[in-house]
Chain A
């Protein structure tokens, strides 16, 4: 099993460790609910160094990115990032990712840990114009510092004015004395905050400096358990749960990152889905009667007919009620539609809910 540069740190902090995407990762420290509330109300730090980073460089880097991703990377200027996905040729999604434009001919693609090899092979296969590609995943650490107090914590460690970095923008600057740190106003929590990318050799000093800076705000380390509940409250998709090789971006509600201003893999099929009607849609729902939805639970209508499947579910620590995401037949996708989740052979009432579940 692989380790991040901070694995021993997590173990020394008493984290409960689990294997995730081939890495030994912290799933919780003080307890999932407490960590969740820490991020919503204060500031917490996630080691998400297992994520993959590819650097694409060259005159044709944009051309390659445009062909393999669904969003329009041509609108990016240096210092801007965008959420996107890699459609496959058969209607599904290879991975979702963030595309960072570093300079006119250099981009960084940030991909899911579980898909690093698959994505690398997929993009390489489309690299017909010899764009220089480098996988820096094993050398790169990524910390997500999230929560309303993240900016006050991090501002102590850099002269870069963090309040001037808009959402989905970044600055490559000096942070805690380390040069060329990518300081990105992004995250997977909906709580605000930043993600910082730097070389592994600085990982311990970065971690320690951030915790010292965040001490007055009650900063805490946060595990993957709370990362999942935080993203689910926002209705953010998790690859492998809510989207995968068989789900189309349109079905998944990712129409906003599919732009037909350019050509890309499987564009025609996706465009026809967008103009016509898809047969199923990813919806958010909340439980009306008691029960917690889990991945793969069957969704039925009032008569007991199967209409879909749960892809993610949990007890929302913020709302204190059970919420989930799942695919249902399009006729059942409207807000407030009554649906039923099969939990241990019982049909438990739920209703379709607009996402995000929590409003900022």
Chain B
């Protein structure tokens, strides 16, 4: 499994790519494997500010459904619309084409609470 070193991670199996005061968020390679074939991603929080660890959406796989949690507090700016027509990209390219949302970070101090790739790998026993 692949966990890029330049990303931050959460115990809820999301990854965060920070670019200035915005961040791109998706689910990790471990999470997509656990969920199996993704059918769609449901995000109804665009334009809202969602608190850290609150639910910003859900991901439906063939076999199961899982909530998606905000890694840090922020305003949801955009959802990846390409996933609607190609949900398999979450499985095949979780850190690239399979990204889920972009947010505007409310409190940059929260970023220090995220996990490094190594700490995340340790968490999942990889």
Contacts and interface: CB of A to CB of B under 8 A. Distances in A.
Chain A interface residue number, banded: 10 to 19
B40 A31 contact: no
Given A16-B33, A344-B58, A32 B63 contact: yes
Nearest to A343: B65
Nearest to B40: A290
Contacts, number: 34
Interface in A94-115: none
A229 B40 contact: no
Contacts of B63: 27, 32, 225, 228, 314
Given A292-B60, A315-B62, A28 B36 contact: yes
A31 B61 CA distance: 11
Interface string A7-44: 00000000010000000000110011100000000000
B87 to A, nearest CB: 10
Contact of A32 (B42, B58, B60, B62): B62
A32 B63 CA distance: 8
Contact of A33 (B40, B42, B62): B62
A31 B39 contact: no
B62 A314 contact: yes
Given A315-B60, A344-B58, A33 B37 contact: yes
A317 interface: yes
Interface in B59-73: 60, 62-65
B10 interface: no
Contacts of B62: 32-33, 225, 229, 314-315, 317
Contacts of A315: 39, 60, 62
5 contacts: A27-B63, A31-B36, A33-B37, A294-B64, A294-B65
